[in-house]
Structure 1
């Protein structure tokens, strides 16, 4: 059985002769009404979309600062915050206004940055003579040209100074290190620079350490907000144009050092022996001088005693001295002959003299002091 009203049931109406009432047609909406409704619905959608964009725009300033970074917030180009602690935003969620009202600058303060420096190694321009005021060379303290290839490592210690003190901090940092390296090398001998270290009164110092310390002082004066962690010399050598001449000079220097060490070794062997001999001669001379001085003092003392006795009794002293002299001659002499006054003797070496008449002789062995011919005149 149909659930429709009786007047809508065609079977029953036709059977009973019922005629359904007239239902008027539904009025049709005008085009203007449809257009108005469409505009209203579109406006509502646009409103919701604009509201979403508005909310999204104001939330776009919300960001995060990653580990190893700090953030700086610029509001209309000016750094926000009244103190460095407020101006530097630590890692984490950062609530900022959307750009361009706020601008967030991230500074990697934990990262170790590297700069390759080849300005003291690059070859000069084509057609230019080497070493005439062109970059790429450093001059040592003893007027030698060398080339250097370095690596600079640094960290950002002051993010505010690093960001706002200079427009190009890396370029300034590079130039500062290049100038410092050239200045330090100009104070070193070329051999020390090539060895990257030298000896001083306080020990030894490394070239990289000296460049690092001096460059850091210069950077601090310029307030770059950078801390240098290392300066490494990857390569340091003479230019290729003068490499042969430099090697020849180095060979000569090595030869000179070798000769010098040999001479020092020879001196180390000879000087002690010479000093020992000198000390021995000095001791002998000292002993001889002591003996001569003692003998002279004894003779002076003896002479003074004899002189005192001679003053008291000249004749007695003279006779005593005469007899002592004759006695000494008799003991030290070789052969003695006594002749009468006026006797002429001819002495020939190697043969005993002829014995004149009336001469008493006492033959003894001739001495080596008897030579030549002597004549005894009355």
Structure 2
């Protein structure tokens, strides 16, 4: 009622518009205030959601074949082996740049040393094969090695390595921590492995002959041990699982000379083998299966002769004699011994028979020498004429006899 009385009458259209605008302004301010309140509430909710999403946005999982290391403000989170997150999850971390997640593969990695000691082309045919034989090797282009006998060779090696994620170094640090601090990435790891392997291969090949190298007798285990020693000193957290040489040969410019040497060595080995077989065969024919023992005894006896030690000389002679007469001695020596033994037996028997005959004739001679002499002449004559090679010719009395005996100048007939 009072409101109606208090309202002043509008005298013009302008007054009417002004009054209406005041009411609309108040209403607009109220609407704006309400809208801002709602907007701020939504903004708070949105910021809260964003904050939650932000803090939980770095939840991560570690795939198989990897381990993860969490770095917070540049410092590794965790002590020793606990700093490595094994495959699985989920793991919580603050968003970058607060936390930094480093994933490292734990599977076996491979490095092929192709360009180092072969050629820079991706082919198994060395560059020097296409070049004149009079040209030398170009350092840095035709990779090569020098053997212990100063020969040039080429080869390709394959190095397998991996990360020791569940072990500790000699200082008690985790191998993963050593890898992060001293290596940093698998790209750097490959380069370190390559450089260390090259130095190790050069060292081992320099102690290997060219014949051993070409035949594949390369001490890859020694190369592996040397690489492992260097990696341990560098605290890389890496370990080498295998080292193998896939190709090994000599340059084409040296093939002809190498083949000539190889053939000469083969012929030498063949000649030595032939001579050894001939020696063994000859000694076996000479002394039978006991020839080696007899030969050793003879050598010992010859050494004692040079030392002029009579006691040792006699002892060595008795040993050699015992072996010489042993049952194991056979061959020509055994045959000669048997023949000598037989001849000895026959000689003894003949000597005994002669002695017995002499004793018998001596008894007769003492009794009647003339009769014995006549009887002996008769026996000898009978023995002569009874021989199948003796011919008897009877000539009439008074005839001249001419005998052609040959070489008459040297024969005088009385």
Q: TM-score, normalised by structure 2?
A: 0.57
Distance, in Å, in 1 between the alignment partners of 2:193 and 2:264 is 42
Indicate the residue corresponding to 2:110 in structure 1. 114
Alpha carbons of 1:83 and 1:46: their partners in 2 closer, same or farther (altered >3 Å)?
same
Indicate the residue corresponding to 2:341 in structure 1. 290
Matched, 1:185 2:236: no
Shift of 1:60: 3.5
Aligned pairs for 1:229-308 (under 5 A) are 229-239=241-251, 243-254=252-263, 256-257=265-266, 261=270, 264=273, 272=281, 282=333, 285-302=336-353
Distance, in Å, in 2 between the alignment partners of 1:104 and 1:80 is 10
Which of the numbers 86, 95, 99 marks the counterpart of 2:96?
99
In structure 1, the gaps of 5 or more residues are 1-21, 199-205, 338-345, 352-370
Is contact 1:310–1:317 with CA below 8 Å preserved after alignment? no
Distance, in Å, in 1 between the alignment partners of 2:148 and 2:374 is 87
Alpha carbons of 1:75 and 1:252: their partners in 2 closer, same or farther (altered >3 Å)?
closer
Which protein is richer in strand relative to its size? Answer: 1
Distance, in Å, in 2 between the alignment partners of 1:321 and 1:131 is 110
Distance, in Å, in 1 between the alignment partners of 2:191 and 2:266 is 43
Indicate the residue corresponding to 1:226 in structure 2. 238
Give the secondary-structure state (helix, strand or coil) at the position aligned to 2:20.
coil
Give CA deviations for 1:226-256 in whole Å, capped at 9, x if unaligned.
Answer: 23344343432223xxx23333331442365
Indicate the residue corresponding to 1:355 in structure 2. none
Give the secondary-structure state (helix, strand or coil) at the position aligned to 2:118.
coil
Give the secondary-structure state (helix, strand or coil) at the position aligned to 1:143.
coil
Give the secondary-structure state (helix, strand or coil) at the position aligned to 2:352.
helix
Shift of 1:48: 6.4
Aligned pairs for 1:1-378 (under 5 A) are 24-27=19-22, 29=25, 54-85=51-82, 87-109=84-106, 111-117=107-113, 118-122=115-119, 130=137, 136-158=143-165, 159-166=176-183, 168-196=188-216, 198=217, 208=220, 211-212=223-224, 215-216=227-228, 218-220=230-232, 222-239=234-251, 243-254=252-263, 256-257=265-266, 261=270, 264=273, 272=281, 282=333, 285-302=336-353, 315=366, 320=372, 323-324=375-376, 327-332=379-384, 349-350=403-404, 372-375=411-414
Distance, in Å, in 2 between the alignment partners of 1:222 and 1:238 is 34
Distance, in Å, in 1 between the alignment partners of 2:190 and 2:54 is 35
Alpha carbons of 1:220 and 1:325: their partners in 2 closer, same or farther (altered >3 Å)?
farther
Alpha carbons of 1:91 and 1:374: their partners in 2 closer, same or farther (altered >3 Å)?
same
Distance, in Å, in 1 between the alignment partners of 2:183 and 2:381 is 115
Give the secondary-structure state (helix, strand or coil) at the position aligned to 2:198.
helix
Alpha carbons of 1:76 and 1:271: their partners in 2 closer, same or farther (altered >3 Å)?
closer
Give CA deviations for 1:310-333 in whole Å, capped at 9, x if unaligned.
Answer: 999974597647853663255226
Is contact 2:69–2:83 with CA below 8 Å preserved after alignment? no
Shift of 1:146: 0.8
Q: Which has the larger Rg?
A: 1
Distance, in Å, in 2 between the alignment partners of 1:307 and 1:131 is 101
Is contact 2:214–2:249 with CA below 8 Å preserved after alignment? yes
In structure 2, the gaps of 5 or more residues are 1-15, 121-126, 128-134, 166-175, 288-329, 394-399
